[in-house]
A and B are shown apart, each in its own frame.
Chain A
């Protein structure tokens, strides 16, 4: 494993984007970042700008209105970038299934690397999702997503 891979696995910076969630998932994402779970142990940091981020955490059903913005935020992130869908809504539109204004899932709009299920998922599950993502990264070995 090269130096770059080593660094990449140890410094995943996340960006949190709400595409229309009921706020349940957002609260859990924020809870996962509190001192109780202390994700800084793994080098995980919440950043404000898409330009700084490695992982895009998306919560909530992707509404038609937010689609353009979501794509833009995704495109603003520098490679290599990864996407994590948090919550049932985000993965498969969950409670909002078949609504006229939402997409059936996040993967209809941007490529997704990890799905975390639950309504809402526990903070432990979200951290586990990040760990799964890192494992996937390890297998890719330096390849961009």
Chain B
């Protein structure tokens, strides 16, 4: 009995550290950066990273290793504890969020009722970290970037949370639940995106793009205006960790999109035994890649907005739309299901 408990504990630790936990998401993050860059290059009629490993596959890794080996400068006026801990916390938070994703089954490593709300909080905390990372070096450009990132957050946070909450409406017929597992299981034979959630998915894509600070919402790190925005003063190891955190966050948000709207790992778990886990993982990754490609198309097709345009757009169109779709998902859809089943 004792031995079994120890082995179970060991398996849990391995699951968290290796698969589908930290190591898996770090590798997935680097892989996603490669896909993103490669596909972006394709859309611009070029080839992208090519000579680093087969098809340039190791390019993100090479960038990471190079940055790790570079000198690490802390500016003189910086608030050192905050400045140094932001990259570590950013990586830790992104990896923590990734543990909730149902990679190899309908359930993530961590799963409890209400974890959807935890995820929404984590997504906001990541922006607070950006704010701290921008303010702590006491330098002008990062400060402007930090202010912009928070202004931007005011614009897209409500739509992001509304689109995530809208996805929970799928569980209404099944007793209702605010957990990822409930949302995934509710999509067993009918993906959310095929119903009232299509609008929610579109809003989620835009909000995720803003959360990741990618074009057209790369306003906080606009390199043509404010050097490199809030990351300006980061160098060496800290920059490497920040970039890795961004990659993991990218993988996480793509995975979240796939989980909430594209049915997560379904129909993978239908296969019995270990095969189910493998098939689920493959399906989950493919669905995440679909979301990633959509995000890349948005990045390639648009140019950067100004901060006022972004906030204007968010409050005039995105917020009303997201509230509308939330009503649609929470009130209209269940009503119609109710009427149809009468």
Contacts and interface: CB of A to CB of B under 8 A. Distances in A.
Interface of A: 3-4, 6-8, 10-11, 35-36, 38, 40-43, 47-49, 51-52, 54, 76, 78-80
A48 B227 CA distance: 5
Interface string B47-63: 11111100010110111
Contacts of B51: 10, 41-43
Interface in B70-100: 70-73
Interface residue tally of chain B, by bracket?
A: 35 or more
Which has the most chain B C-beta neighbours within 10 Å: A35, A47, A51?
A: A51
B62 A6 contact: yes
Interface string B250-277: 0000000000000000000000000000
Given A38-B41, A40-B37, A41-B56, A49 B231 contact: yes
Contact of B223 (A4, A10, A47, A51): A47
17 contacts: A6-B62, A7-B64, A8-B69, A10-B51, A35-B46, A38-B47, A38-B48, A40-B37, A43-B59, A43-B62, A47-B223, A47-B228, A48-B224, A51-B234, A51-B235, A76-B73, A80-B70
B239 interface: yes
B227 A49 contact: yes
A11 B66 contact: yes
Contacts of B233: 49, 51
B44 A35 contact: yes
Contacts of A52: 228, 231, 234-235, 239
B236 A78 contact: yes
A80 to B, nearest CB: 7
A38 B239 contact: no
Given A4-B65, A4-B69, A40 B235 contact: no
A79 B63 contact: no
Interface in B186-224: 223-224
Interface in B15-73: 37, 41, 44-52, 56, 58-59, 61-66, 69-73
B235 A78 contact: yes
